[in-house]
A and B are shown apart, each in its own frame.
Chain A
Amino acid sequence: MSEPHLAPAIDVRGVQRVYQAKPKDVVALAGVDLRVEPGELFGLLGPNGAGKTTLIKILTTLLLPTAGTASVFGFDVAADAKRIRRIMNMVAGGEQSGYGILTVREQLWMFSQFYGLGRREGWRRVDELIEAVGLAEQRVQRVSELSTGQRQKMNLARGLLNDPWILFLDEPTLGLDVSAARTVRELVVEWRAAVPGRTVLLTTHYMAEADELCDRLAIVDRGRILAEGTPVELKRRVQRESVFRLELDRLAGGAAALAALPGVVRAATMSDGAGEVGRERQSVVVNLVLDDDAALGGVVGALGGLGARIVALQKSEPSLEDVFVELVGRGFDDEAVHHGERPGPPPATLAEMTHDTEEAEPLGSEVTR
């Protein structure tokens, strides 16, 4: 065991996991190294079958690594499973645990007993958590009658019953509508922030969710960690050019005039104001790709000469999806189709959360220098 006060929340070294299967073995993890510090909200981002859930099963002591070592707060997953189980909990998306015949309150109380809470203490804790997750109106409703979102809130409350130091969340917003997914995310963030040292390991294949929630994340594919860092660091890896979205009141000479300026790689008109008759202001939107941020000054200085005035200027960031495609050479959905699965519907949360402003293809002409 590591020195307690020095122990990372998660320490994974060279972990491999192979499932024996016919006709050939399945390699779920092919040598993973990972370190998560106490207090972090760390994300594992990857498509179905990437090995995220296998890693969570190992860290929650449900599965042993075939090779390598893994520990949670200094406790080895193989040798100290009982200790780990006392300070962790886990919640999975689409979880149907418990018994439909019980009420929400009874179900949570039942689970509280598996963590050693006293009878009265258990009921009190359950009532507190029911309030906290917003299920007060459903407290005496049967579990079998809950909606998917209500059920997942209850599952989250179950995961917090023992006040764990580390919470493993496996696709916690899977299949939830926008509102329920937002509530779950907010609860996770609030819970983690409430006590220093509380740690969350989150797996998701919703990139916008990972972007919004995680302090750091690892991109996982086919049992390997391909990249690790903060969302900003990861996105910076693929951002070799600076991209700006420029809205001008007019632009004499069109995008070609901008493309001719020093430091401009490409300029594309996304909206030239045509068809906006009747609106008070007609503007031109240009997608501008520069060598680097420093070239922007020259562009802004030259706009006066082109008879243009800036209405809005926004820097476009690459998305985590761009990072994934860059690292893996394919998107998440490509993987799902490859395995004969239907790609799931786009996550309800993606549109509302995305910070990416590059989603729109240029509508007009594109001029490359």
Chain B
Amino acid sequence: MSALARPAAGTPQADAAWDRRRVFLANLRSVGGRAYPRVHGLFREPSWVLFEILLPFLTTSAFVFVYRALQAPPEYVGFVVLGGAMTAFWLNVIWMMAAQLYWEKDQGNLELYFASPVDMMSVLFGMAVGGLIMSSTRAAVVLAVGAVVYGVTFTVDQWGLLLLVFFLTLAALYGLGMMLSSLFVLWGREAWHLTQLLQEPVYFVSGLNFPVGRLGFLGALAVALIPLAVGLDAMRQLAFAGALGPTGTPPPEIEALILVGMAVTFTWMARVMLRILERLAREKGRLSARWR
């Protein structure tokens, strides 16, 4: 039988009535569907080795040499390597999460996502999962190569807490990315500028290449507001136990709680923003009218 001649399942009304299980499965599958292009697309362009591994590694190396020239404690090299690894996630969050829906709108994908029967949150989760897997590759390579080449020694007392903090950091980061993605669509053409505006300041106040506690009040503020700052600080405290001395920041257990709060808040906000976006899209034509 031809694909076009498949027998109809029933009536339109019966086919429109999905039970909860079917709704759940459809949303679950859409997560995998949206993650697919990111996971499989990553390795399709050989240039990823250059852009995702070699260039970030050079940036990290520059700071390593600065610290060595200044004869800083050896743990600082570890801080930089860890920061370099986490950079991968931050770049992914702002360029491929926050700005992504805006680009999807330009391509015509966003309308198709909205017109599909699944929740847009599933599509965002799919983007996040795909981006996470994609960035993990880069992060792992930078961490491994950095550790070997520069002889970083990790002193971990609480592996469980370290892993927990790592995953909470990613949850909070990608929650932030999901929230920003709707905001960027609402702000329209300014998405590109917003992305650039966020990139460098967040690098700085997150202390990607130095302990954030050294920033004093600004560092404390960053720890309270930016998942990358708090996550990285907690991971440094856990991965180089005792090496930091007084950090001027909360202990990792408290920072883990801050991360939980951030992950929940950002994800909830992402859902709220999506609802607002969809409402405005339908009421004002924000997705449909080309000039908007």
Contacts and interface: CB of A to CB of B under 8 A. Distances in A.
A86 B34 contact: no
B70 interface: no
Given A19-B289, A86-B15, A194-B4, A114 B118 contact: yes
A32 B289 CA distance: 19
Most-contacted residue by chain B among A57, A75, A116, A160 (CB, 10 A):
A116
A128 to B, nearest CB: 3
Interface stretch (A77-85, A245-253, A311-319, A350-358): A77-85
B115 interface: yes
Contact of A116 (B44, B117, B283): B117
Interface stretch (B106-114, B176-184, B222-230, B246-254): B106-114
What class of interface size applies to chain B in its complex with A?
Answer: 35 or more
Interface stretch (B23-31, B135-143, B153-161): B23-31
B169 to A, nearest CB: 28
Contact of A114 (B30, B108, B288): B30
A191 B5 CA distance: 7
B283 A117 contact: no
B41 interface: yes
Interface string B216-251: 000000000000000000000000000000000000
B140 to A, nearest CB: 22
Contacts of A194: 2, 4-6
B18 A86 contact: yes
Interface residues of A, number: 67
A353 B68 CA distance: 77
B11 A116 contact: no
A62 B117 contact: no
A102 B15 contact: no
A233 interface: no
A206 interface: no
A115 B33 CA distance: 10
Contacts of B45: 101
A41 to B, nearest CB: 14
A102 B40 contact: yes
A163 interface: yes
Interface of A: 4-5, 7, 9, 19-21, 38, 54, 57, 60-64, 73-75, 80, 82-90, 92, 95-99, 101-102, 106, 109-119, 122, 125, 128-129, 131-132, 160, 162-163, 165-166, 187, 190-191, 194-198
Given A7-B12, A87-B16, A114-B113, 6 more contacts: A7-B13, A85-B117, A114-B34, A165-B12, A191-B4, A194-B6
29 contacts: A4-B13, A7-B12, A19-B284, A38-B12, A62-B282, A63-B288, A73-B16, A84-B16, A85-B116, A86-B18, A86-B117, A87-B12, A89-B115, A96-B108, A98-B107, A101-B37, A101-B44, A113-B29, A113-B32, A113-B33, A114-B30, A114-B33, A114-B123, A115-B118, A116-B118, A118-B29, A194-B5, A195-B7, A196-B8
The 7 A-B pairs with the shortest beta carbon distances in the complex, nearest first, are A113-B33, A116-B26, A128-B3, A4-B13, A194-B5, A83-B16, A114-B116
